[in-house]
Amino acid sequence: MKKPQIQSQKLPLALSFDDVLLVPQYSEINSRSEVDLHTKLSPNLTLEIPLISTNMSTVTGVEMAVKMAELGGMGILPRFEPIEIQANKVAQVRTRVGDRVADEKNQKPIAASIGLKEELRRAETLVNAGATVINVDVAHGHMKQNLDFIKRVKSHFGDKITIIGGIASTAECAKDLYKAGADSVFIGIGGGSICTTRIMTGCGLPTMDSVFRIGEVARRLGKSCIPGAGIRNSGDIVKALAGGASAIAGGNIFAGTDETPGEIIEINGKKYKKYEGSTSIEEKKRHIEANPEGKSASYTKHIEGVAGLIEYKGPLNEIVENLLAGVRSGFAYCGARNLTELWEKAEFVQISAGGIRESHSHDILEIE
């Protein structure tokens, strides 16, 4: 019997958002308002801003999806509920968005997630209800089952819809997803603030490292990619876009706003809203309640997420406005008027632990 080979050579380095900075470049931009943030996710879909609210039950419901579309981005409705309920939400978003939001090809950014088990039934129902974007939501995208399913979705709908595959961490995974028919891929395993996948499984890659790996492939193939784990601020967004992403999907950065599902909870004079991982015990129990025949009791035995409270943030438009101000400023520092120029001009450096500390406010007692 052959003995297992133990890896003793030096391991490759994988970098996170905090480990890198962008080098400021010569700029002829006089104002942040000169920066154009339009981004193309597929031949049929262009967003005015590179922001997407992720498909989590405590982040994106009808209100969030509508508001994100009105602001120029997109919200993705989650899949862990009966098909008819999800389709009804898609129809509500389509009705409320109406003719106010559309790109140059008049495709509205109405997005919803599906899994593998419903095959094409859920996708067809959602598209008939008005969805223009289908996200095949799988925790580990580099599985034959997932690739085969995306091929079927692409074969069935052709270019009628935009297909977002995932989740990918490596260039090889992204290549296979694109080949299967995905227009875009979600990036990031285990980097979210309420995700414990890396701790539970020992697997994953820092999201920024995955962006470097996949961004180059996406640009070369004329596709797009969307990091959706661990984005905390406008600086992370700029780094992700400069690394090759076409947009980012946010959970934590949008959680706690007025438009997220759920009530405001007040504790000791402070306001909060619930924020729960899709594979937290609380969420999985709700999945079973919504689909008792499709989920067994063992479904709750393996948990890769947590649930908690996040400080109430107020209206979404204020959060988005602040994020975009920082993003536009980042583009200006790089001398880039648009995303294509950012890809061309971006120069990254790796920084030390001292550089990370220096990047944050320090040596001062901050006054709130």
Catalytic positions, please?
Answer: 195, 286
> Which letter does DSSP use for residue 98 in this model?
T
245: nearest Cα among 168, 190, 181: 168
DSSP letter string over 106-141?
A: -----EEEE-STTTHHHHHHHHHHT--EEEE--SS-
C-alpha separations of 243 from 15, 22, 209, 226, 326 in Å: 12, 10, 9, 11, 17
Tokens of 325: 């101000």
Q: How far apart are CA 252 and CA 61, in angstroms?
A: 15
> β-strand 348-350 against 20-22: which pairing, if any?
antiparallel
In contact, 136 and 149? CB cutoff 8 Å? yes
201-206: long-range pairs with CB below 8 Å, 24+: 201/304, 204/169, 205/14, 205/169, 205/170, 206/14, 206/15, 206/16, 206/17, 206/19, 206/230
